[in-house]
């Protein structure tokens, strides 16, 4: 499902060069739930961006679903991530001017899905994450946990095989955090979505079937976790 071969990524932050990935190789099978752990600045978010086609590695190769994506143009990448990857972010990243329903609709708009179908599907997914009563609310009118559930619904609209979550519980209290994690785990178990979660919280990592540790841009160990 996901295959990274010696991926290297360096970016500039102001004048300093940050060597975020220094040759990462990683393989994730279809239907797996993998946690990527590491301290802040270890490169775990960059790793997630590269896997999710938000960014391209400077060196090395990335394969998603058997296709090499590391050489694709920006627009082809956009198309690919639109269809194949669902993102869940720590800061939710909802569009503040759009309602919950419209936020969930958004990815389908760019895929050219007709409006009727978009509305029906967005509504269905929001009901599924328990927000059937909150369709017309703006993000600012929702609690953190509710916002993250909107984001999860949005991640699911194009029925992606891969869901990537970057500290999905980082801005949530423990109760809503647990709800979100249960929701994600359910997607992995019941809908067979491949799930990769970046976190620095061992408790969150404990939901995963496997944990990958990253430090200074390198994978340190691959541990199996029994749940």
Partner 1 sequence: MILDFIRMSWRGIKTRKARSTLTVLGIVIGVAAVVALIAIAQGMQATMEREFEAIGYDTVFVIPGEAPQGMQAMPDRMRRLAFFGGGSEGAVLDLSRLKGLPQVEAVGAIRTETAIITAPGLEGQGFLRVTGLSSGITQGFPSYFSGFSLAGGRGFGEGDEFVVILGPKVAEDFGVSVGDRITIENKEVEVIGILEESEDGGMQRGLPGDPNYGIYLPIAAVDSLFGEPGKVSLALVKAAEGADVKRVSQLVEQAMATAGTPVTTTTVQEMAEMATRMLSSVQAVLAAIAAISLLVGAIGIMNTMYTAVLERVREIGIMKAVGAKKKHILSLFLLESGLVGLIGGVLGVIVGVALASVAGRLISGSMNVGPMAGGFSFSAVFPAELIVGALALSFGLGALAGVWPAQRAARLSPVEALRYE
Q: How far is the CB of 82 from partner 1 (least distance, A)?
A: 2
**Distance in Å, CB of 32 to partner 1, minimum:** 22
Token pair belonging to 18: 């940050």
Given the complex with partner 1, which of 1 and 113 has the nearer CB atom?
A: 113
CB 111 → partner 1: shortest distance, Å?
A: 6
Task: Round to whole Å and give the CA distance between 178 and 173.
Answer: 9
Nearer CB in complex with partner 1: 91/191: 91
Residues in the chain: 227
The minimum distance between CB 91 and partner 1, in angstroms, equals 9
- Write down the least CB distance from residue 151 to partner 1, Å: 10
Minimal distance, residue 84 CB to partner 1, in Å: 9
Strand (E) or helix (H) holding 77: helix 74-84
- In the complex, the smallest distance separating the C-beta of residue 19 from partner 1, rounded to whole angstroms, is 16
Which string of b and e fits 32-55 if b means at least 16 CB within 10 Å?
Answer: bbbbbbbeeebbbbbbbbbbbbbb
Q: For binding to partner 1 (CB under 8 A), which residues are involved?
A: 49, 54-55, 74-75, 78-79, 81-83, 87, 89, 93-98, 106-107, 109-112, 115, 154, 158
Judged by CB, which is closer to partner 1: 158, or 176?
158
Read off the tokens for 181: 């994690």
* Residue number with CB closer to partner 1 (66 or 112): 112
- State the Cα–Cα distance between residues 77 and 203, nearest whole angstrom: 33
Nearest to partner 1 of 139, 209 (CB atom): 139
Whole-angstrom distance, CA of residue 207 vs CA of residue 213: 15
3 vs 79, which CB is nearer to partner 1?
79
Rounded (5°) CA angle 128-130-132: 85
Q: Based on CB atoms, which residue is closest to partner 1, 160 or 177?
A: 160
């Amino acid at each position: 499902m996901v295959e990274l071969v010696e991926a290297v990524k360096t970016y500039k932050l102001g004048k300093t060069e940050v060597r975020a990935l220094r040759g990462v190789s990683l393989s994730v099978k279809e239907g797996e739930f993998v946690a990527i752990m590491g301290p802040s600045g270890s490169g775990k978010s960059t790793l997630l961006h590269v896997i999710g086609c938000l960014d391209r590695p400077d060196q090395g190769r990335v394969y998603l679903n058997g296709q090499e994506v590391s050489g694709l143009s920006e627009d082809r990448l956009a198309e690919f991530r639109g269809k194949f990857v669902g993102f869940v972010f720590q800061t939710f990243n909802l569009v503040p001017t759009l309602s919950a329903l419209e936020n969930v609709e958004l990815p389908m708009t760019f895929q050219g899905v007709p409006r009727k179908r978009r509305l029906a599907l967005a509504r269905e997914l929001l009901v599924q994450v328990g927000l059937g009563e909150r369709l017309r609310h703006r993000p600012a009118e929702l609690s953190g946990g509710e916002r993250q559930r909107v984001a999860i619904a949005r991640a699911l609209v194009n029925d992606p095989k891969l869901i990537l979550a970057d500290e999905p519980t980082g801005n949530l209290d423990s109760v809503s955090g647990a709800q979100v994690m249960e929701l994600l785990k359910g997607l992995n178990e019941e809908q067979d979505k491949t799930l990769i979660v970046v976190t620095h919280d061992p408790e969150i990592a404990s939901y995963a079937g496997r944990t990958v540790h990253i430090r200074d841009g390198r994978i340190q160990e691959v541990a199996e976790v029994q749940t």
